[in-house]
């Protein structure tokens, strides 16, 4: 079989496998499909963060803020919260809530997150390394604290209580929040959302790969390798950095919109510093700058905690409750990450050029 034919066969096999995954998983319970759904959201976030960290070499520890921006935008525009708290402003819709179409909110979420990315990038253009990480960390915490406290004197975000009754996504008359009955077969909402998330991930991966091979992508990588040399060669490093922040934030905003619709509820607890650190770990674990590796790392670290839940709880019962299941899960995840980094220091699936460079160094 020729190489193109093998690639086509592999592509079709992967496509069939991805399409069949939720149908197989739902036979073992909808909880497993939900785990896969959340893992796909993290893949979308990791692909976006990889543009900033992997391509441009800008260490961003506040990326989760863009996720929060998209989530709260959809929660405000697709729930009764604004009309209940500001009936004078939204007189026509008072009591019924705002129900803006996701076709409008998703682009708005992407645009607002991109604007937030530019606002983050503008004051950090001269910072590098640890200093940039500290500033971006602070930005992420500022967004979370604002969300947590904007319930007084004007209740905009409902503070730590969060916003509930968020609409599900409706596409072409199909409500993804309701089961779809096809003959004798029923597709639950978690399965319907899986296909939407999968489509978004595929689009994000295609965009990311196209960016990687474009002039902009190569310019980002030049900045990552040596910013001074890149600037000396005539690259506008200022605009390229801002573009990296904005482009990466766009993926975070879209993921936030999808998350709010999927959960039907958003609160500040979902956007902590721990989530940003987890996203960085996904990229490092998979292979910085390599999209397939980032996907593998994101999927593993997103799904592993939930899978280990089924290991931690039996061990807790076996020890008479002396071992806390949550702590045990965190310990197992940490040990797995340490083991992977010892065995594969460049990640599970590093970029090919990294592998060639390493071989050359050993030679």
pLDDT of residue 166: 94
> Is 216 part of any domain?
yes
pLDDT digits (tens, 9 = 90+) for 318-353: 777 777 777 777 787 888 888 888 998 888 998 876
> Is 170 part of any domain?
yes
- pLDDT > 70: what percent of the chain? 94
pTM, two decimals, is 0.92
- Residue/partner pairs of 216-225 with CB below 8 Å, 24 or more apart: 216/240, 216/243, 217/55, 220/51, 220/55, 220/56, 220/57, 220/244, 221/55, 221/56, 221/57, 221/289, 223/56, 223/57, 224/55, 224/56, 224/57, 224/289, 225/57
pLDDT of residue 89: 74
> Is 335 part of any domain?
no
Written as one string, the DSSP assignment of 188-215 is: -HHHHHHHHHHHHHHHHHHHHHHHHTSH
Q: Is residue 180 classed as helix, strand or coil in its secondary structure? A: strand
Q: How many residues does the chain have?
A: 363
Parallel, antiparallel, or unpaired: how do β-strands 174-175 and 265-266 relate? unpaired
> Is 60 part of any domain?
yes
Q: Which two tokens stand for residue 17?
A: 């496998």
- CB atoms under 10 Å from CB of 354, counted, come to 16
> Is 139 part of any domain?
yes
> Is 56 part of any domain?
yes
Q: Which domain holds residue 126?
A: 31-268
Count Cα neighbours of 334 within 13 Å in the Cβ-side half-sphere: 7
Dist. CA 153–CA 144, nearest whole Å:
18
> Is 88 part of any domain?
yes
CA distance readout (Å), 111 to 115, 119, 252, 324, 344: 6, 12, 11, 43, 37
Counting the structural domains of the chain, the total is 1
Q: Which two tokens stand for residue 215?
A: 């002039």
pLDDT of residue 363: 35
pLDDT digits (tens, 9 = 90+) for 105-126: 999 999 999 999 999 888 888 8
CA 150 to chain centre: 24
| CA-based max dimension of the chain | 73
Per-residue confidence of the chain (363 residues) as pLDDT tens digits? 567 788 888 888 999 999 999 999 988 889 899 999 999 999 999 999 999 999 999 999 999 999 999 999 999 999 999 888 887 777 655 556 788 888 899 999 999 999 999 998 888 888 888 899 999 999 999 999 999 999 888 899 999 999 999 999 998 889 999 999 988 888 999 999 999 999 999 999 999 999 998 999 999 999 999 999 999 999 999 999 999 999 999 999 999 999 999 999 999 999 998 899 999 999 999 999 999 999 999 999 998 887 777 777 777 777 777 777 777 777 878 888 888 889 988 889 988 764 444 333 333
> Is 8 part of any domain?
no
């Amino acid at each position: 079989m020729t190489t193109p034919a093998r690639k086509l066969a592999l592509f079709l096999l992967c496509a069939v496998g991805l399409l069949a995954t939720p149908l197989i998983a739902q036979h073992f319970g909808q909880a497993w499909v939900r785990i896969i759904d959340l893992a796909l959201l993290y893949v979308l976030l990791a692909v976006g963060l990889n543009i900033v960290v992997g391509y441009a070499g800008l260490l961003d520890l506040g990326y989760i803020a863009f996720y929060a921006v998209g989530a709260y935008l959809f929660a405000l525009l697709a729930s009764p919260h604004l009309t209940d708290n500001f009936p004078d402003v939204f007189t026509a819709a008072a009591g019924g809530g705002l129900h803006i179409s996701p076709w409008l909110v998703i682009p708005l979420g992407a645009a607002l997150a991109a604007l937030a990315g530019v606002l983050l990038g503008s004051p950090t253009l001269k910072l590098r390394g640890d200093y940039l990480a500290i500033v971006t960390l602070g930005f992420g915490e500022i967004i979370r604290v604002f969300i947590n406290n904007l319930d007084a004197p004007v209740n905009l975000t409902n503070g730590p209580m969060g916003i509930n009754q968020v609409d599900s996504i409706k596409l072409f008359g199909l409500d993804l929040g309701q089961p779809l009955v096809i003959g004798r077969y029923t597709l639950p909402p978690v399965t319907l959302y899986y296909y939407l998330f999968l489509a978004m991930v595929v689009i994000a991966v295609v965009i990311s790969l196209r960016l990687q091979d474009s002039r902009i992508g190569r310019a980002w990588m030049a900045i990552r390798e040596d910013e001074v040399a890149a600037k000396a060669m005539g690259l506008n490093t200022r605009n390229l950095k801002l573009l990296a922040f904005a482009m990466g934030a766009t993926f975070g905003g879209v993921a936030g919109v999808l998350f709010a619709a999927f959960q039907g509820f958003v609160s500040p607890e979902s956007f902590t510093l721990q989530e940003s650190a987890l996203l960085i770990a996904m990229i490092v674990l998979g292979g910085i700058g390599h999209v397939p590796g980032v996907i593998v790392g994101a999927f593993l670290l997103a799904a592993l905690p939930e899978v280990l839940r089924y290991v931690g709880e039996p061990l807790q019962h076996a020890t008479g409750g002396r071992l806390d299941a949550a702590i045990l899960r965190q310990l197992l995840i940490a040990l797995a990450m340490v083991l992977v980094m010892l065995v594969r220091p460049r990640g599970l699936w590093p970029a090919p050029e990294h592998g060639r460079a390493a071989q050359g160094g050993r030679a």
